[in-house]
Amino acid sequence: MQWSLEQVRLFVSVAECQSFSAAARHLGRVQSAVSSSIALLEADLGVLLFERSSGRQPRLTVAGEALLTEAREVLRQCQRLEGRALGLVRGEEARLRLAQDEAMPYQSVLDSLEALAQRFPRLELQVASGAQGDVARKLLERRADLGLLFHHEQMPEALERQRLGTIEMVTVCGAGHPLAGLAYADRRELARHRQLLMAPQDSTYPGGEQISPQVWRADSFYAMAELLARNLGWAWLPRHVAQYPTYQGLLVELRSDWTPPPLVVELVCRRDEALGPAARWLGERFAEHLRAIG
């Protein structure tokens, strides 16, 4: 077979744009060249990738749909190869920019950074914390090299993620809330009171299920904890947030018949930029500390 990576890129672009002309404009090519490249790719692969009808948008054939997933993976592998090569050329980082969800276990993060300072004493470190969505945004805008965040489904295609561990979720309300006096709060009882949830409404964080008709939303687990401390509802929080020293005596963990699955902590970076040795080492320390508290 004589097909090339450029033909694979064109195939993916046409499939995503659903148009030869749109793909040509997007890539700065002539439409005829794009059509010819796709035709040559089909000849090399021995399958028809698109159904072409006069006046209609090209539609993927069954074979085209099957091969599109493989083509995207080929391009991702190329990005990893290029990023890894760039990292080898660069050697050890002079600077590492870490972006983290503000609700990460603070003790685990501090212990990991303390170890980083001893292992890489000359490394310049920049740490940024933010609410939901901020970490991925910083990585996409190349304002961060490494991200720590909680797993959610809508991860941008340009980012690569690695599971590090999990964090337990608990059901919580304020010490003065009516639920605090109950020995057990079942689903029906919880539904009678205002529920605090992560924003936006399509959030895929564990614990995103609405079971109460009364809902308030926030983009931060710590913002939710502040509302809970004022007896404004109940919520599912990471255990370490509920046990943060500031909230001792203000928050109560409830016994309930349903608790969300653990939050999955992920290490995230750009697919086209390989992690340097300090970033990889730091990721391993994060994973170790998460296992310790798990």
The mean pLDDT of the chain is 87
Q: What is the DSSP letter of 232?
A: S
CATH topology of domain 92-166+263-293: D-Maltodextrin-Binding Protein; domain 2 (3.40.190)
Q: Model confidence at 205, in pLDDT bands (50, 70, 90)?
A: low
Q: Model confidence at 57, in pLDDT bands (50, 70, 90)?
A: confident
Cα–Cα nearest to 124, from 146, 86, 93, 88: 93
Amino acid 241: pLDDT: 93
Amino acid 131: pLDDT: 76
CATH number, domain 5-88, options 1.10.10.10, 1.10.645.10, 1.10.3720.10, 3.90.1300.10:
1.10.10.10
Residue 201 has pLDDT above 60, yes or no: no
Cα–Cα nearest to 174, from 228, 108, 122: 228
Cα–Cα nearest to 98, from 61, 130, 126: 126
Q: Which amino acid is at 154?
A: Q
Every domain of the chain and the residues it spans:
5-88, 92-166+263-293, 169-253
- The DSSP line for 96-151 is EEEEEETTS-HHHHHHHHHHHHHH-TT-EEEEEEESTTHHHHHHHTTS-SEEEEE-
* CB neighbours of residue 252 within 10 Å: 20
Q: What is the DSSP letter of 167?
A: E
Mean pLDDT of 135-158: 88
Amino acid 88: pLDDT: 61
Retrieve residue 97's tokens. 């920019």
pLDDT in tens, 78-88: 887 877 677 56
Amino acid 200: pLDDT: 60
Q: Model confidence at 150, in pLDDT bands (50, 70, 90)?
A: confident
Amino acid 94: pLDDT: 81
> Could you tell me which CATH number the domain at 169-253 has?
3.40.190.290
Query: Which of helix, strand or coil describes residue 286?
Result: helix
- Tell me if 5-88 shares its fold with 92-166+263-293: no
Beta strand pairing status for 195-198 and 159-167? unpaired
